[in-house]
Amino acid sequence: MQFQCDTASRTPIYRQLTDQVRAAVARGRIQPGDRLPSVRQLSRELVVNPNTVARAYTELEREGTLVTQQGRGVFVAEPRNDLTKRARQKQLEEHLDQLFVEAVHLGFSAEELLQLIHKRQERFTFSVEENPS
């Protein structure tokens, strides 16, 4: 996976990196078990402070997206569902509410928003839940 950072963006570089990893996992571009570049390697490639990359990796590890294996490197973690289905649904509803607020402020109708959602969903990999909690 090729990472990029935009130093002119108002979004902090560590947040740009975390967003790129999350999106790559959601789109199936990187899979559980895939190895990511080391902190040093990625900081050299992007010409950023190693602490910035470490912060992104730490945040992704804390949320369960990445796992560090001592002496081996940083890997994409196997998906975990620590939360109940209801808790996960509540979290998603909060994000959807934010999306709807933004769509209203941008002047989109409900139909336009739904069409856009259907068009964009093809870019993502959705899993089928086998054991709902």
pLDDT for position 27: 87
Query: For the segment 37-91, what is each residue's pLDDT rounded down to a tens digit?
Result: 999 999 999 999 999 999 999 999 998 899 999 999 999 998 877 778 888 889 8
Question: How many Cα atoms occupy the beta-carbon half-sphere of 11 within 13 Å?
Answer: 11
Alpha-carbon distance of 13 to 59, in angstroms, equals 13
**Domains of the chain listed by start with CATH number:** 13-76 (1.10.10.10), 85-123 (no CATH)
Confidence check: pLDDT of 130 > 60: no
Q: What is the pLDDT of residue 127?
A: 67
C-alpha span between 40 and 109 (Å, rounded): 46
Q: What is the mean pLDDT of residues 122-127?
A: 79
Q: What is the pLDDT of residue 87?
A: 83
Residue 131 vs residue 126, higher pLDDT: 126
DSSP state of 32: T
Q: Which strands, in side-by-side order, build the sheet including 73-76?
A: 35-36, 73-76, 66-69
- Residue 123 per-residue DSSP state: G
Summary mean pLDDT of the chain: 90
7 pLDDT higher than 60: yes
pLDDT at 129: 56
The CA-based dihedral angle spanning residues 72, 74, 76, 80, taken in that order and rounded to the nearest 10 degrees? 90
Evaluate if pTM is beyond 0.85: no
CA 120 to chain centre: 16
